[in-house]
Amino acid sequence: MKYVLRFLVIRTGLCLISLFVIATVTFLLMKSIPGDPFQDERGVSSECIEQLKRFYGLNDSLFIQYGRYVKSIFCLDFGPSLKYPAIQVNDIIREGFPISAALGLVALAIALPFGILFGLLAALYHGRGIDSLLRLLAVGGVSVPSFCMASLLQFVFAYELSLLPIARFDSIAHMVLPAVTLAIGPIAIISRLLRASTLDVLGQPYIYTARMKGLQRRHIIPYHVLKNASLPVLSYLGPVIANILVGSFIVERVFAIPGLGQWFVGAVLNRDYPLIGGLTIFYSIVLIISHTIIDLLYTLLDPRVRIYAHE
Amino acid sequence: MHTNDFESISPEEKSLYIAPHSEKVRKNLFFRHVGCILGLSIFALLALFAIVVPALSPYRYDEVHLALKNVSPSSGHLLGTDDLGRDQLSRVAEGLRLSLAIGLLAAFLDLCIGLSWGAISGFCGGMVDSIMMRTADFIYSVPYLLSVLLVAAIVGPGLASILIAMCFVGWIQMARLVRTQVLATRRLDFVLAARALGVSPMRIVIRHILPNIAGPTLAMLLLTIPHAIFTEAFLSFLGIGIQPPAASLGSMTADALSAMRYYPWRLLAPAVTISATILAFNLIGDGLRDALDPKQKKCIESPYAN
């Protein structure tokens, strides 16, 4: 327990440093975008824009702006969006994230079982037809861009066959197509990783030992094979979980889902500085949390990886 | 006189040197090859398409015929026309040319930056290594989509902007791979021998280390091509990549999506073409990685296969 606490303390320190770095790089990048947030407003006089800029402190020196930015991160309060002044950035995150996260969890619930199933099948029937077929499908799965997959699924299932609703986010049926779109990439990658690691594990002496002891196949595969082979999959899942939970811009745009992912591109194009900052920091926090959880899970699955080895 | 040792031994001896491959393993190697061959054939077909269509087509990709808007596929326009009456076939071919060019260019730029960065970092070691790799980590820490968008917004729309945005982050993976490889190679005896002979560090890296790490680097290089092609299509799909009237498969998909209900044929051609292009490069890259990266090459027999 002491080690776990210590791990968490060190980990938190490292996380704060990386958050700081991410925030700083993002600040420098977003301030380098030419133009200002109000340049696309129509029918607004230049005095008015000047006034707006002064109001939001955009005329101050970069250092003062950076100070305010860091303060907003520490207080986790990013203020109003510059493009939509009636909405607080925090509210955008509060309203969008649950929707994206719900969709993401459904996608993960699809991706994990199928990915594991395909990976195991390919490895257990290594070199047979089914292995080659699954490998080809996996390459295909990572090759079709998400926007093509989303468009094609929408076209076939929602429009041609009229089986599922075409867009929006009102019921379980609305979640099927976007969740499948989100799940296809991870299914392909999980099955590839798991195939490779399962082949590795199957060649290990302890599998032969287990078989010599006369253990049943249905015991060996989950407890001896899958447990050891799932480690590479686990480390792949860290960033993927964060990505999927925060929401994909493409999927949310094609299926008109009011999630969090849809805000990213608009925020950058509108130079909506508080929104960019808020989204980046929120995403990074989710990423860091999911990495930490994955690391803890790793130690549970593999006793050789000890978290206090960081000393 | 130089004799080939392998030719001079008898077949019985030869069989001692060659691992007996079971039918199954051989089949698997064959299928691996099939992946690579499939990828190469798709690539050849696409390349042929990209060369032949613009040469033979009576329409230019940006030729507007407002009288012939959204024509369905016919003998006049094999893939129909878009909402400005532009020939869809010529536009797909033009978009494919652009995708291929971007993929190759981006991979080349990534290679140039990543190779020199990783090689210098790995070979110098110490402080230089720490500073160079931490810089890379800093850039890499920002979410990929966000940094690409930000850089694209900084540089402004257009082809150059897309390339710069992709390479801003793209080179880091390559640099990391090259650095690890260089670190593993630079302690080997042949490097020591070269140093003892007084070969300059620059020459050691170029003549002795780089040829030894060419395999994994090449495999990595090939896998950055589909990634770059995807990113360009993605940015163009969002409307911040290639600007009209230039044709990009991504922006064509986006345009077709909004009119999917009425003119579905406009969706299929660009979506299939971009997927096939990425698929081809992924297949070739995978095959090459299997062939060139010895760590990946495993012929383990599954005890449960029978």
Tell me which residue in B154, B240, B275 faces A143 most closely, judged by beta carbons.
Answer: B275
pLDDT tens digit sequence for B34-57: 778 888 999 999 999 998 888 887
pLDDT of residue A103: 93
pLDDT of residue A107: 94
Please judge whether B261 and A144 are an interchain contact, meaning their C-beta atoms are less than 8 angstroms apart: no
Residues 197-236 of B with CB under 8 A from A: 226, 230, 233-234
Please judge whether A147 and B254 are an interchain contact, meaning their C-beta atoms are less than 8 angstroms apart: yes
- pTM, whole model, 2 decimals? 0.83
Chain B, nearest residue to A208 by Cα: B303
Secondary structure, 3-state, chain A: CHHHHHHHHHHHHHHHHHHHHHHHHHHHHHHHCCCCCCCCCCCCCHHHHHHHHHHCCCCCCHHHHHHHHHHHHHHCCCCECCCCCCCEHHHHHHHHHHHHHHHHHHHHHHHHHHHHHHHHHHHHCCCCHHHHHHHHHHHHHHHCCHHHHHHHHHHHHHHHCCCCCCCCCCCHHHHHHHHHHHHHHHHHHHHHHHHHHHHHHHCCHHHHHHHHCCCCHHHHHHHHHHHHHHHHHHHHHHHHHHHHHHCCHHHHHHCCCCCCCCHHHHHHHCCCHHHHHHHHHHHHHHHHHHHHHHHHHHHHHCCCCCHHHHC
Identify the burial level of A275 via C-beta atoms within 10 angstroms of its C-beta, where 0-12 means exposed, 13-18 middle and 19 or more buried: buried
CB contact, 8 Å: B282 with chain A? yes
Flag whether pLDDT at B304 surpasses 50.
Answer: no
- Residues of chain A neighbouring B304 (CB-CB closer than 8 A): 124, 202, 217, 221
Domains of chain A and CATH, by start: 1-32+38-81+272-311 (no CATH), 97-271 (1.10.3720.10)
ipTM of the complex: 0.84
More confident residue, A1 or B269: B269
Average pLDDT over residues A298-305: 77
Q: What is the spatial distance between Cα A10 and Cα A295, in angstroms, rounded to a whole number?
A: 13
pLDDT of residue B29: 57
Q: What is the mean pLDDT of chain A?
A: 86
Nearest one of A191, A286, A295 to A241, comparing CA atoms? A286
Tell me which residue in B149, B271, B303 faces A148 most closely, judged by beta carbons.
Answer: B271
Please judge whether B282 and A139 are an interchain contact, meaning their C-beta atoms are less than 8 angstroms apart: yes
Please judge whether A25 and B298 are an interchain contact, meaning their C-beta atoms are less than 8 angstroms apart: no
- Residues of chain A neighbouring B233 (CB-CB closer than 8 A): 145, 147
Q: 3-class DSSP state for residue B87?
A: strand
Ramachandran angles phi, psi of A2, nearest 5°: -60, -40
Size of interface A-B (CB pairs under 8 A): 153
Chain A, nearest residue to B270 by Cα: A148
8 Å CB contact between B261 and B89: no
Q: Which DSSP symbol is given to B302?
A: P
Neighbours of B101 (CB within 10 A): 15
Please judge whether B143 and A148 are an interchain contact, meaning their C-beta atoms are less than 8 angstroms apart: no
- Residues of chain A neighbouring B142 (CB-CB closer than 8 A): 22, 25-26, 29, 280
Neighbours of A304 (CB within 10 A): 6
Average pLDDT over residues A276-299: 87
Nearest one of A231, A245, A246 to A190, comparing CA atoms? A231
Tell me which residue in B260, B271, B272 faces A159 most closely, judged by beta carbons.
Answer: B260
pLDDT of residue B196: 92
pLDDT of residue B293: 59
pLDDT tens digit sequence for B248-298: 888 888 888 877 777 877 888 889 999 999 999 998 888 887 776 555 444
- Residues of chain B neighbouring A250 (CB-CB closer than 8 A): 234, 237
pLDDT tens digit sequence for B59-99: 777 777 777 777 777 777 777 777 777 888 888 998 999 99
Q: Per the structure block, which two tokens stand in for B259?
A: 């009119």
Average pLDDT over residues A92-102: 91
pLDDT of residue B48: 93
Sign of CA dihedral B127, B133, B138, B139: positive
Average pLDDT over residues A124-146: 87
